[in-house]
Amino acid sequence: MRSQQRFVLFVFLLFLQFCSSISTSNPHPEFPCKPHHHNSYPFCNTSLPITTRAQSLLSLLTLPEKIQQLTNNFTGIKRLGIPAYEWWSESLHGIATNGPGVSFSGTIPSATNFPQVLGTVASFNRSLWFSIGSAIAVEARAMYNVGQAGLTFWAPTINIFRDPRWGRGQETPGEDPMVASAYAVEFVRGFQGGKWKGQRRDGSGWKRVLKGDDGSERLMVSACCKHFNAYDLEKWHNFSRYSFNAVVSKQDLEDTYQPPFRSCIQQGKASCLMCSYNAINGVPACARGDLLQKARSEWDFNGYITSDCDAVATVFEYQNYTKTAEDAIADVLKAGTDINCGTYMLRNTKSAIEKGKVKEADIDRALLNLFLVQLRLGLFDGDPRKGKFGKLGPQDVCNSKHKTLALEAARQGIVLLKNDKKFLPLDKNVVNSIAVIGPMANNASLLGGGYTGIPCNPKSLSEGFQAYIKKTSYAKGCFNVSCDFDNGFDEAVRTAKEADFVILVAGLDLSQETEDHDRVSLLLPGKQKALVSSVAAASKKPVILVLTGGGPLDVSFAEEDPCIASILWIGYPGEAGGKALAEVIFGDYNPGGRLPITWYPEAFTGIPMNDMNLRADPSRDYPGRTYRFYTGHRVYGFGQGLSYTNYTYKFLSAPNKISLSGSLKSDSSKNVLHEVGDELGFIHIDEVESCNSLRFSVQISVMNLGDMDGSHVVMLFSEVPKKFKGTPVKQLVGFNRVHTLSHGSTKTSILVDPCQHLSFANDHGKMILPLGKHKLMLGDLEHFISIETD
């Protein structure tokens, strides 16, 4: 009998262990509205409008429970069956470890690591950007379903890459507001659950597909446009992002800093906006009620506004904008900030109420915005495993589709900057040996860039080459990227001398550029330049130089050195970067990437980083910033990028004249035509009745003259009549990435909206459309369009 009891007990313990193992290997998130004790609340009733449900939830909370919601790390309300929730998860170019909402300690140990944003944007491919956003969303939902992530992700970063020294420029879509806007729209649409339907005339191809039972727009996951606004300095000299006051002109704010955020909200329909650390013209960004409310009242923002982490504390403690902590809480809440990343509001809001600085209604307004987003995500719809995305799980993370997409993104983002005498591609059938030199070449962990998670199956650059050439040797040359010493140079030179071909990998990693760390120089770090030159001089043949990192580099020496035949920029190419680079170098992929930023010379570092002005000012020897306004020397220009083939263009059709007759608002009391000198010079955009009626398409033929197929980025620029102060040198009108066959032609079209693409802001921050001849530029081709009033 005892032995039988022991056997039963043994079987029972085995059963418990089995159940425990199932629970451990298949965890799931805690969720509110569980049957049968907590699903009878009106906020759990999915047949009610989500606004009604949000207001119901709000009405059930006590004041302490409301205050408890004002932090990213909400601890839950047990009496209502509402579990803890972490608002802060990150997904810049794949699910990242930066936010506490994400964990890789579970059934999902890794996630697809796509190229850092700047490299992805170098593809100039809208459908690729959309697909990456969509793929990351699938992995985010899958990780949520096993309790390893939240549903609110604080990406994308869409600030303008204004200064080449900025440590976080790598995270951005570059320096052009039109490109940054397009990236923001496509990434957010893909990420929040849109569906690509093929590209339309306006360049987009998205259709919203998620609707709730009550007709409300639902979300697969929530995207957040950050950092609003004019944030692009970490730590430079005595300036810190926590206390920096960005002095920005109305002109620059309107036509450069603001457009990506406006597009992210208006067209992308982002459900979150993050206010930045810095002040803007003396007022902390999270307390700029005029800007935050503009997003809601003019751009129809439907979502919540979060502070950057501890950006509420900085209002008082770093910027000294308020006299007390309670005043800081009052200012940001009344300005429109809804939640604080950090605990400052959690710790100080009660005191602010007691002192009469904050009213409970201020908190209610904020919480309503938070609850509406959570309801759109389905967080109060019951068991998520029974919902629309409930079947997503470990099988949907790091799958073959996503890994293939990461490889394609890395391929498309590689930029060929120099290729003397068509040195590349190499013929793998005649190459017996290669040497790979440089501290980044054999370390896959350096290829991710900032805000990276744990990649699926990363390969180093050296491993990528070994798949083509078995006899691949490696030498670091420098101990690390800082390259403070040259004691590895001799080994690198010996290794180079013994190989048929040499590939040098130089540039930046996160020790040189990252959050809270700006660069002070645009040169290669430490003794890297000496390493490159020494190895190039010793090599049997000219070498190939591969540049890593996000920030521009002054590599004028390499551009001029005949011993360096080819230069490629790969950015931070992600987990598939090694394979993608090898495919390009050995000709299995024809490079087509373009630089999304200007590469300045080292002399540019004499320009104060804290000067936010974009327009050039000759009176003080200020050369301006970004290709739209910069008047100085360039190492490489915005949009620069070579191919293994040559292309020519033809304008197939474009109008010669655009008449504003009938398109202006018929207000007889208002003279809508404004003079410049003795001429009728411009109209204000807000005086146009219908901008859509002025749109036109430019039809273009692209001819591939070479022996290789390839994808090619078509970029159409405009130049406005030079009559006005602050006129851009040129600006991008539109772009398409098209596939071309060897010795074949393909057609494409770019939709031009004169109100958007042929305009700029005047001194007062008003968008104006100049009259007269506008020049469209396509490579070396020019086409003139006259904008007239009759």
So which residues are the catalytic ones? Answer: 308
Q: Which residue is associated with the tokens 């130049």?
A: 719
d(CA 125, CA 735): 8
Helix or strand or coil: residue 226?
strand
CB atoms within 10 A of CB 189: 28
Residue 249 and residue 764: Cα distance in Å, rounded? Answer: 9
Q: How many CB atoms lie within 10 A of CB 401?
A: 12
The H or E element that residue 577 is part of is helix 577-585
The single residue listed with the structure tokens 């004019």 is: 230
DSSP assignment, residue 524?
A: P
Strand partners, 775: 719, 784
DSSP E strands: which ranges in 409-563? 415-419, 434-437, 472-475, 501-507, 543-548
- Positive/negative CA dihedral, 432, 438, 442, 447: negative
Q: Is 65 buried (19+), middle (13-18) or exposed (0-12) by CB count in 10 A?
A: middle
Whether 644 contacts 425, CB under 8 Å: yes
Tell me the backbone φ, ψ of residue 716, rounded to 5 degrees: -105, 120
How many secondary structure helices (H) and strands (E) does the chain include? 21, 30
Q: What gap in Å lies between CA 39 and CA 60, rounded to an integer? A: 14
Nearest to 574 by CA among 62, 170, 47: 170
Residues 6+ apart with CB under 8 A from 477: 437, 438, 439, 483, 488, 489, 491, 492, 531, 535
CA–CA separation, 384 vs 366, rounded Å? 25
> Which 3 state secondary structure label does DSSP give 280?
strand
Give the 3-state secondary structure percentages of the chain, helix then strand then coil, rounded to 5. Answer: 30, 20, 45
Tokens representing 349 are 């809001």
**What radius of gyration, in Å, describes the C-alpha atoms of the chain?**
28
Q: What angle do CA 643, 171, 399 make, to 5 degrees?
A: 75
Amino acid present at 744: G
Spatial distance between the Cα atoms of 153 and 370, rounded to a whole number of angstroms = 14
